[in-house]
Amino acid sequence: MAAGTAAALAFLSQESRTRAGGVGGPRVPAPVTIDSFFFGCELSGHTRSFTFKVEEEDDAEHVLALTMLCLTEGAKDECNVVEVVARNHDHQEIAVPVANLKLSCQPMLSLDDFQLQPPVTFRLKSGSGPVRITGRHQIVTMSNDISEEEIEEEEEDSEEEEAELCPILPAKKQRGRP
């Protein structure tokens, strides 16, 4: 079983090097950094909408991952409908209700990292809230500043990885036992 695992790892390792290197040989991918920040806003009768947006000049990719919507202290037993206004794949603005919260039957809703691309507007379409929206703001940046030392280290690591892999040997036939 270990030989089969080594063979699979050898294949996967070769496959990933082929994809990364292309025709011209091994290519080192640009370093990627991912920063994650807590996000939260509250909608109520006084503040019926909130817009989350980022700077246009920013080269990073921004994702807003929603985790939960919940009624907070002071909420009445009424339907509180929260809708999200964002852009679809054709860059057209659309409004979609994402939650209908009521204190007596559904005071909170877990969204399990529901991901949206900014700008995004949250609206309290009906009810008086207060509704708390929580999640994470993730920023993914790719840096093209790679030093020669980093490239050489990556190539050395790749060569060491190749040397560590065992060659695939044919299975030995077992002779009948007396």
The domain that holds 93 is classified in CATH as: 2.60.120.340
Choose among 132, 139, 96: nearest CA to 117. Answer: 139
- Stretch among 3-17, 86-100, 108-122 having the lowest mean pLDDT: 3-17
Within a domain: residue 1? no
- Count of structural domains within the chain: 1
Contact between 31 and 103 (Cβ < 8 Å)? no
Residue 10: partners with Cβ closer than 8 Å, 6 or more residues away: 165, 166, 168
Within a domain: residue 102? yes
Within a domain: residue 165? no
pLDDT interval class at 135 (50, 70, 90)? very high
Domain that holds residue 100: 32-142
pLDDT interval class at 87 (50, 70, 90)? confident
pLDDT above 90 (res 59): no
Within a domain: residue 153? no
Contact between 135 and 65 (Cβ < 8 Å)? yes
DSSP state of 47: -
Within a domain: residue 92? yes
Cα-based torsion angle of the residue sequence 45, 99, 79, 40 in order, rounded to the nearest 10 degrees: -30
pLDDT interval class at 66 (50, 70, 90)? very high
Within a domain: residue 49? yes
For 17-46, letters b (16+ CB in 10 Å) and e give: eeeeeeeeeeeeeeeeeeeeeebeebbbee
Query: Mapping DSSP to helix (H, G, I), strand (E, B) and coil, where does residue 145 land?
Result: coil
Residue 164: partners with Cβ closer than 8 Å, 6 or more residues away: none
pLDDT above 80 (res 118): yes
Task: Specify the pTM.
Answer: 0.61
Within a domain: residue 117? yes
pLDDT reported for residue 150: 60
Within a domain: residue 74? yes
